[in-house]
C-alpha cells in the first residue's frame, strides 16, 4: 500500500510550515497543487516535479495525485493553511474510493484563522466559528442561517472568503445579519496576506467593518460580547479572574 501525503503548508511563509510538512515535501518526487500554492513553496524545493491544475479543476487535481502515486512516485498534494479546513483532504477521501491501494496521510497546518489571529492579537481565545462566505458550493440560505445562529449564541466568528469580484457586497450583507444580534461596537479585525509580503492588519468596530472592503486574501474576525481592544490588538478574554 503506497502513501500519499495531503499537506497543509500554512499561511504562506516557509517557517510557518510544520517540521513534518517540510519533511514530507522534501521526501516527495511530485508536489501537486493549485498554481498559487505551488508558487509559495517552489523556491524551497527546487528539485521537485511540480504539477498544477487551475481553480474549479479540483477533482482533476485529486485524480492526478492518485495517478502519479499509482506510478510508484511519492506524491504530496498541497493546500494553503490546513488541508482539512476548506481544503482538499475531504475531496481526496471521496476520490480515493477509486484508489483503494493508496493510503492518505493528512498533515495538518496552521489555518488562516489561527495564523491571522496571531497577527491581530488573541481574538480566538474562546469558543468560535469558521464560516466561509463563498456561495460557490454552498447555498446562501445556509450561510445566512449560520451567521445568525453564531451571532445569537455570542460566538467569535472568523470569516473565510469574505469577498470576491462577483461577491463584492457579501461582507456587508454578512455584517447586516450579524448586527441583528451583535452590538455595532463589537470589536472586529481584518488581516490580509497572512504570513506573506505585505501582511497587514486592522482593528475596528463591527459598524466600521460593514463599510470595509475585503478581498480574497483577507480573513475577517468578529468578536464576541467580551472581546476588547488592548493597545491596538484584538483580544478575547478566556475569563480568568484577578487580571
Three-class secondary structure of residue 96 per DSSP: helix
At 134, is the secondary structure helix, strand, or coil?
coil
Give the angle 216-59-54 at the CA atoms, nearest 5°.
Answer: 45
Per rule CB under 8 A, is residue 175 in the interface with its own copies?
no
Residue burial 9-40, b: 16+ Cβ < 10 Å; e: rest: bbbbbeebbbeebbebbeebebbbbbeebbeb
Q: Does 153 bind its own copies (CB under 8 A)?
A: yes
Handedness of CA 133, 139, 144, 146 (dihedral sign): negative
Is the Cβ of residue 75 or residue 117 nearer to its own copies in the bound state?
117
Nearest approach in angstroms of CB 9 to its own copies is 11
- Contact pick of 32, 150, 191, 222 for its own copies (by CB under 8 A): 150
- The secondary element (H helix, E strand) that includes residue 208 is helix 206-209
> Which residues partner with 107 through β-bridges?
7
Q: How far apart are CA 156 and CA 138, in angstroms?
A: 21
Closer residue to its own copies (CB): 49 or 161: 161
Closest separation between CB of residue 135 and its own copies, Å? 10
Binding of its own copies at residue 122 (CB under 8 A)? yes
Size of the site for its own copies (CB under 8 A): 77
By beta-carbon proximity to its own copies, the closer residue of 138 and 200 is: 138
Should residue 237 be labelled a site residue for its own copies when binding is judged by CB under 8 A?
yes
Any contact of residue 90 with its own copies (CB under 8 A)? yes
Q: Which of residues 201-220 bind its own copies (CB under 8 A)?
A: none
Q: Which is nearer to its own copies, 3 or 213 (CB)?
A: 3
CB atoms within 10 A of CB 241: 4
Asked whether position 235 contacts its own copies by CB under 8 A, the answer is yes
Question: Smallest distance, Å, CB 124 to its own copies?
Answer: 5
* 160 contacts 112 by C-beta, under 8 angstroms: yes
182 binds its own copies (CB under 8 A): no
19 binds its own copies, rule: CB under 8 A: yes
Minimum Å distance from CB 170 to its own copies?
A: 15
Closest CA to 4 of 85, 90, 67, 98: 67
- 53 to 82: interface string for its own copies, x by CB under 8 A: -----xx----------------------x
Alpha-carbon distance 28 to 45, whole Å?
Answer: 10
Q: How far is the CB of 130 from its own copies (least distance, A)?
A: 6
Query: 126-145: which residues touch its own copies (CB under 8 A)?
Result: 126-132, 137-138, 142-143, 145
Amino acid at each position: 500500500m503506497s502513501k500519499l501525503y495531503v499537506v497543509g503548508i500554512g499561511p504562506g511563509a516557509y517557517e510557518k510550515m510544520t517540521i513534518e510538512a517540510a519533511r514530507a515535501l522534501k521526501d516527495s518526487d511530485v508536489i501537486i497543487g493549485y498554481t498559487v500554492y505551488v508558487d509559495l513553496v517552489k523556491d524551497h524545493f527546487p528539485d521537485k516535479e511540480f504539477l498544477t491544475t487551475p481553480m474549479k479543476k479540483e477533482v482533476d487535481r485529486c485524480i492526478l495525485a492518485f495517478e502519479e502515486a499509482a506510478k510508484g512516485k511519492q506524491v504530496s498534494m498541497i493546500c494553503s493553511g490546513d488541508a482539512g479546513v476548506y481544503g482538499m483532504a475531504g475531496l481526496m477521501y471521496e476520490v480515493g474510493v477509486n484508489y483503494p491501494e493508496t493510503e492518505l496521510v493528512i498533515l495538518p497546518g496552521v489555518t488562516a484563522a489561527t495564523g491571522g489571529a496571531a497577527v491581530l492579537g488573541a481574538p480566538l481565545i474562546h469558543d468560535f466559528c469558521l464560516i466561509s462566505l463563498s456561495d460557490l458550493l454552498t447555498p446562501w440560505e445556509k450561510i445566512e442561517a449560520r451567521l445568525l445562529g453564531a451571532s445569537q449564541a455570542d460566538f467569535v466568528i472568523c470569516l473565510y472568503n469574505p469577498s470576491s469580484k462577483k461577491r463584492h457586497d457579501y461582507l456587508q450583507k454578512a455584517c447586516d445579519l450579524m448586527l441583528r444580534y451583535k452590538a455595532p461596537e463589537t470589536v472586529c479585525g481584518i488581516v490580509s496576506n497572512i504570513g506573506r509580503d505585505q501582511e497587514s492588519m486592522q482593528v475596528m468596530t463591527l459598524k466600521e467593518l460593514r463599510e470595509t472592503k475585503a478581498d480574497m486574501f483577507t480573513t475577517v474576525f468578529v468578536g464576541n460580547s467580551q472581546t476588547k481592544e488592548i493597545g491596538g490588538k484584538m483580544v478575547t478574554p478566556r475569563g480568568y479572574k484577578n487580571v
